[in-house]
Structure 1
Amino acid sequence: MLQETPLRSVAAGVPGEGQHPRAARPFFLLSDIHLSEAIPHTVAAFEHFIRVTAEQADSVFILGDLFEYWVGDDMLVEPFVARIAALLHTLSERGIALYIMHGNRDFLLGKRFMKAAGAIWLPDPFVITAFGIRVALAHGDGLCTADHGYQMFRRFARNRFAQMLFLASPFRWRQKLAENMRAKSEHGRMRPVSLKYDVAPKAVAALFKASKTATIIHGHTHLPARHREPGGMRWVLPDWDLDHGAHRGGYLRIDADGIRALPLG
């Protein structure tokens, strides 16, 4: 099935819409930052975004793949990970809500991390109402239904029993496995070379119908764009990479003027 959990609206749960002193402030959405110590310039850009850019926001939504990989919340013992969690926690300390959705690389982010980061987990997909606009949010990998091999892996990897078995294995073994997989995929930054790896039109149409929205925002494909679909507008978030070749990155801003794609500042 396309949906892992029933779509629910957080119109009454997300700060904004006249319920919060910061209600006039915008919502910022980003994804696919793929944080790791191997990409220091990207990490620095993310730190600037959280410390400076996000100060304008009411809420920040990270729609998956915050980290390059995540093999369990015991990764919080790593100084780099603890530093990122502490950085994210400064958002809630400043009255800025943080919402995090699982991606295809960090779907094992759990309650311990969410608490350390001061974040609220969002299921995929999810519907919010922002400045009167109903928006369906997704990471995007669930929409790539033409990639049958990946979808089989996705169903297996999201199985709770399979996750329990994996998380019960030694931490260093899990970490080494993830590092090996990352090396094989060139640090996880290979661009799709086939329509097989992009979203499927039927899956997009199904999400428009199920969510009863005319706007979808997702990441995952690393193909940032705004698409006018039969069911409405589909925005694709960019991946972030300031360490390999041409710089990539950016975010979406939702405010009273609508939705805009903005570069990293």
Structure 2
Amino acid sequence: MQTSLSKKIYFASDQHFGAPTAELSFPREQKFVRWLDEVKQDAEAIFLLGDLFDFWFEYKTVVPKGFVRVLGKLAEIRDSGIPIYFFVGNHDLWMADYFEKELNIPTFRDNKEFTFGNKTFLIGHGDGKGPGDKGYKRMKKVFTAPFSKWLYRWLHPDIGMKLAQYLSVKNKLISGNEDVIYLGEDNEWLVLYAKRKLETKHYNYFVFGHRHLPMILDLGQNSEYVNLGDWIGYFTYGVFDGEKFELKEFIN
């Protein structure tokens, strides 16, 4: 996908609304809405790179309770004509078509290429990419299988939501490796993944979430790896102005 650039492109990831409880995550939700209000003033587009919710499951006629402020603000911004793109994360991987039908926000389940001006991007949540984390990769295949989703729908929402919210916090096989510890360039799986991709195609920016650790690393060849951090401890986001990519902290 290619687009010209006259304003700014904004990126955010890993809000995990609903964790550890709805009450405790509510101030973070309010802060994120303030951020959306600010960036909509000059946004060419907004990218949300997954794990907006700590858990999300769509029954045919039921979606999780809550999050009305965030969902309402996204609807308002999208209705104003600003494109919003959502990438499913490992905590909201059971998202179906709610965002697309209700909010007119396209939903992606894997990395996608974009071009802004003369810069090329590979964008995604980042879970299950690169070497390692094999337990999570196997579990993801199980969870995303159509039979698994069909089977889960037979649980009453009150039971299904409570069970999944518990597991999303407690089970690292579901969460994947999200520990906020820098492993070094030679051990960061997404950095290794980006370097491997550069062997076959050039990108100026690899932009991911999932790791909860804000960083920009120079990969050489006029290419950079970006991790957006999170909205739990860092409140960081990315902004591309057509020339350079920056990570910033929202402190409002």
TM over 0.5: yes
Contact 2:123-2:208 at 8 Å conserved across structures: yes
User: Does 2:193 match 1:229?
Assistant: no
Deviates more, 1:32-41 or 1:92-101: 32-41
Question: Of 58, 65, 77, which aligns to 2:51?
Answer: 65
Matched residue, 2:82:
96
- Map of 2:141 onto structure 1: 155
Q: 1:248 to 1:88 in 2, by over 3 A?
A: same
The equivalent residue for 1:143 is 129
| Corresponding letter in the other structure for 2:16 | H
Identity of aligned residues (%): 20
- Which amino acid in the other structure matches residue 219 of structure 2? E
Structure-2 residue corresponding to 1:5: none
Amino acid at match of 1:191: D
Provide the residue aligned with 1:191 in structure 2: 179
**1:180, CA displacement in angstroms?**
1.6
Letter in 1 for 2:203: T
Moved >6 Å (runs of 4+): none
3-state SS in 1 of match to 2:240:
strand
TM-score for the superposition, normalised by structure 1:
0.80
Once the two structures are TM-superposed, the CA of residue 99 in structure 1 deviates from its matched residue by 0.5
Letter of the 1:114 partner, please give it: E
1:76 alignment partner, one of 37, 41, 63: 63
Measured in 1, the distance between the counterparts of 2:100 and 2:127 equals 22
- CA-CA distance at 1:62 after TM superposition: 0.3
1:101-134 deviation digits (Å, cap 9, x = unpaired): 0001001112123322331112311100012111
Q: Deviations over 1:75-102 (max 9, x none)?
A: 5362x23443222101112211110000
Specify the alignment match of 1:218 in structure 2: 208
Q: How does 1:106-185 map to 2 (within 5 A)?
A: 106-184=92-170
Counterpart secondary structure, 1:207: helix
Provide the residue aligned with 1:29 in structure 2. 11
> In 2 relative to 1, CA 56–219 (structure 1 residues): closer, same or farther, beyond 3 Å?
same
Aligned pair 1:105/2:91, yes or no?
Answer: yes
**Distance across 2 between alignment mates of 1:209 and 1:114:** 34
| Conserved 8 A contact 1:136-1:211 | no
CA deviations on 1:241-264 (whole Å, 9 max, x unpaired) are 2xxxxx411111112222111211
1:31 CA drift (Å): 0.5
C-alpha separation in 1, matches of 2:205 and 2:211: 17
In structure 1, the residue corresponding to 2:139 is in which secondary structure?
A: helix
Describe the shift of the 1:201–1:92 C-alpha distance in structure 2 as closer, same or farther (beyond 3 A): closer
Seen in structure 2, the aligned counterparts of structure 1 residues 56 and 228 have a Cα distance that, compared at 3 Å, is same
Q: Which residues of structure 1 form unaligned runs of 5+? A: 1-9, 18-22, 242-246
| Alpha-carbon RMSD | 2.7
Rounded to whole Å, the distance in 1 between the matches of 2:7 and 2:36 is 15
Unaligned runs of 5+ in 2: none
Tell me the secondary structure at the aligned position of residue 63 of structure 2: helix
Instruction: Look up the equivalent residue of 1:256 and give its one-letter code.
Output: G
TM-score, structure 2 normalization: 0.84
Q: CA deviation at 1:182?
A: 3.9
